[in-house]
A and B are shown apart, each in its own frame.
Chain A
C-alpha cells in the first residue's frame, strides 16, 4: 500500500529564498509530525498536527518556519528567507491515531540544501 510521500525529494535554494515542502501522509492517519535531520544526527521534532489542528510547534527553530495542514490530510512546511543552517533533511511522519500504540510511519524526506 502507499506509504508517506514527500515532495520534492531534493531542493536547492539560494539563501534568502522561500521554500515549501509537501507531505502526503497515509490516508486516514490522524496525527502528523515534522522532523528535521541534520547530517549525521538523529531527527529532531519540529511540529505536530492532530487532524488540522497544530497542537505542538515547540520545535520550530524560528518564526521563519511555518507549517499547515488545512484539511487534515496533506501538510506543508514553509521556510521563509532560508539560511545555510536550514540545510537538512526534513522528514514527515504520520500515525493512525494519537497514541504511541500506533507506529509513526516516516516518509523518505526532502533534502534541502541552502547555498
Chain B
C-alpha cells in the first residue's frame, strides 16, 4: 500500500524558534497534500491543502504567515511553524492523495508531535 512518512516524529523546541516538518510520499506521486493538526483528546482539524507547484489553501483561522507550507515536488511537502509558541504544541499529521486514477483514499503519515517550551 501507499506509504507516507513524516520527519521528525517528535520535536521539542524553544518558544520563538521555527520548526520544519517534512512529509514524503514514498511510493506514489502526491498531487495533493493536506496538513492536519490534532490537540490532545480532540479530532483532526484541517489546516491547509497544498497542490504541487502552487500556493497552499489555508483553512479559516490558520495563519499562512505562521504555518508556511511548501509543496515543491510530487513527493515532498514541508510545514514550517515559524516563531513557535507553547500554544502551537500539537500533533501535526500530513496526508497525501495520489491524483492519478480513481483512488479516493488519502494516505496518512504517522504524525509529528511538536512541543514548544
Say whether A associates with B.
Answer: no
Residues in chain B within 8 A of chain A (CB atoms): none
